[in-house]
Structure 1
Amino acid sequence: MNKVTVLGSLNVDTTFRIKDFPQAGETVQVKSKSNAAGGKGANQAVAAAREGAQTSFIGQIGNDGAGQFMLDSLKADKIDSTFVSENESVGTGTANIMLDDNGQNCILVYGGANQTLTAEEVQKAEPTIKNSDFVVAQFETPQDAAIAAFKIAKQNGVTTVLNPAPAPSNGIKPELLKLTDIIVPNELESASITGIKITDQVSMTATAKKFADLGVANLIITIGDKGAFYSTPDKAEMLPAYKVKAVDTTAAGDTFIGAFVSQVAPDFSNIVSAVKFAQHASSLTVQRLGAQPSIPTLDEVLKVEKESAS
């Protein structure tokens, strides 16, 4: 069983189902509205926990009902929330999600307490980080917090996983990249960071070289319904996606990352099987509504893997 610590965001998601995305100045009718626990960090932690990893979380909430709701959601999945701190002056993060009839989404995120998480708060979690196999971070919390976590991880032989989402407008701090063992962007985030548009195998290979030059030796690019490209110093390959009818893609990428770290070895020796497992997990997620409610369990993923192999 992998031990995974996730540093990241805690958001209460409000999803609005609509026929089509509005144009500028247009008012559209909402078909339905629902609330669920979310945030990229929390989603990834839930995915890791449901796929069998012993999971801990580092983050921050506000002193409000939304914060308690998020704590309860972590505990429901047996995620250790010891190092989720509370900000007395800033509210818990929220996300408003527009979901169209094709299963595509647009998301408006209010960072709230996620954005006030400090390196000092992260350092309090050193005992948990040291005892982990993997530490995962994204960009809905400050980069300085991720740097603090990754420094502790690297000093203790813990593998670091960076999901550069959402892609930061002011770029990624070079120090963070040098502390990263594997980076997992989607194709748009990858292009934003490297300047290389993902179009074919040549562009993927060039992207892997660019990240290696920046200090990250291992890469996975998720490319929606086309699949995922992975690259290590030893091998690289495009793995096609499993074809399903998507109804909501909200937590697909987060499910992929959480499922991946629940299965992969710290030296990435089983990266192919771990990526395929993560693809099966995310293929289940996109067939369901909501963020965390859509994330499958280990038994569900294993069942789909068995069916796919037969």
Structure 2
Amino acid sequence: MSILVFGSLNMDFVAQVPRMPVPGESVLGHNFVMAAGGKGANQAVAAARLGTKTAMVGRVGRDRAGEDLLAQLHAGGVNTEGIFIDEETHSGVALIAVDDRSENQIIVVPGANGRVNREDVARLTALLTPEVSALLLQLEIPLSAVQAATQTARESGITVILDPAPAPQDFPAELYPLIDIITPNEIEATQLVGFPVRDRATATQAAQTLVERGVGTAIVKLGDRGLVCTTSTDCHFISPYSVRAIDSVAAGDAFNGGFASARDRGLSLPEALKWGAACGALTTTQSGAQPALPHREAVERLLHSTQE
């Protein structure tokens, strides 16, 4: 089997700071990293590093950043034949600040990601073969393209996994029934359901609300407080893994890639949730996005250590 990812590629510029600046303030940072990122590319590399056959569809500009982004995907084992080089704009970039509590603030300039359209959906459609177990989507590309890709995947009988980040102001109600699995964090869940999500109880309520709207499975990620997963018949809570976190960038993407990889290998829903959570936890132990994504051996060690 295999996984297909439709989404964004960004070059990340990451500054580590003691605390986030307030408007008008300058804060001295103590480290800087430039690394390949973008939610789509991160999820693709996350799955590929676990040994899952993975391909990606998206766009980059014809610039140095685009060349580097494609090179990093190749190095990560991702098939990039579906990525279009756009001559008319720059590659996507993300400006990221990470404070000493491992919290982050991110500014994304879409560039080529913002020009993804039905031509890209057509390239995606050609790759939706019977061996594809899941299509991974995010919202750093135009929502219209996401909706078209979702519809196409459902018509092909392929599982749709949506990371609704960044969450739009008005999420289309008609999209919920087309989503098999949705994976918001607490901020995105709050924006989607309209009430604060801040703990296990409210996360469970939010997940139930999303299922009632038509989603097959709702997973609400609570960072270092674990995650909640709800279907129409079951509810699961996965406790957080104890790690020394220094940077939460791409942890959510690592979860999605790890979860989809586990499901592709035939693992049960609870076991796949553990795999995703372990991938997310390990990603927080290193700086950057794609450089921090774990390999399968590291994930297996963490999972094994928690079972002893």
**Residue equivalent to 1:100:** 99
Which residue of structure 2 aligns with residue 207 of structure 1? 206
Say whether the 8 Å CA contact 1:140–1:166 is kept in structure 2: yes
Question: Could you give the per-residue CA deviations for residues 170-223 of structure 1, whole angstroms, max 9, x where no partner exists?
Answer: x22233322111100001101101113224555334323321232212110000
* Contact 2:3–2:264 (CA under 8 A) maintained in structure 1: no
Q: Does 1:306 align with 2:304?
A: yes
Work out whether 1:10 is the aligned partner of 2:21: no
Pairing partner for 1:274 from 263, 268, 272: 272
Which residue of the partner structure matches residue 243 of structure 1? 242
User: Could you say which residue in structure 2 is the equivalent of 1:139?
Assistant: 139
| Range moving further from structure 2, 10-19 or 119-128 | 119-128
User: Aligned partners of 1:8, 1:264: CA distance in 2, in Å?
Assistant: 20
Deviation at 1:32, TM superposition (A): 2.2
> Per the alignment, in what secondary structure is the counterpart of residue 29 of structure 1?
coil
Is residue 129–residue 149 contact of structure 1 (8 Å, CA) maintained in 2? no
Following the alignment from structure 2 to structure 1, what is the Cα–Cα distance between the partners of residues 240 and 82? Answer: 36
> Matched residues in 1 for 2:101 and 2:203: separation?
27
- Partner AA of 1:271 in structure 2: L
Number of residues paired by the alignment? 307
When residues 168 and 16 of structure 1 are mapped into structure 2, their CA distance, relative to the original with a 3 A threshold, is: same
Q: Structure 2: 5+ residue runs without aligned partners?
A: none
TM, length-normalised to structure 2: 0.95
Distance 2:211 2:56 in 1: 28
Offset from partner CA, 1:255-294 (integer Å, 9 cap, x none): 001000000259x971111111111111111011111000
Instruction: Please list, as runs of the form range in 1=range in 2, the aligned pairs for 1:160-239 lying within 5 A after superposition.
Output: 160-169=160-169, 171-239=170-238
One-letter code aligned to 2:232: P
* RMSD between superposed Cα atoms in Å: 1.6
Percent of matched pairs sharing the same residue: 35
Aligned residue number for residue 284 of structure 2: 286
Matched, 1:69 2:74: no
* Unpaired stretches in structure 1, ≥5 consecutive residues: none
Equivalent runs, 1:115-134 vs 2, <5 Å:
115-131=114-130, 132-134=132-134
Q: Is the 8 A contact 1:7 1:41 kept in 2?
A: yes
Partner of 2:36: 37
The one-letter amino acid paired with 2:137 is A
The aligned counterpart of 2:157 is: 157
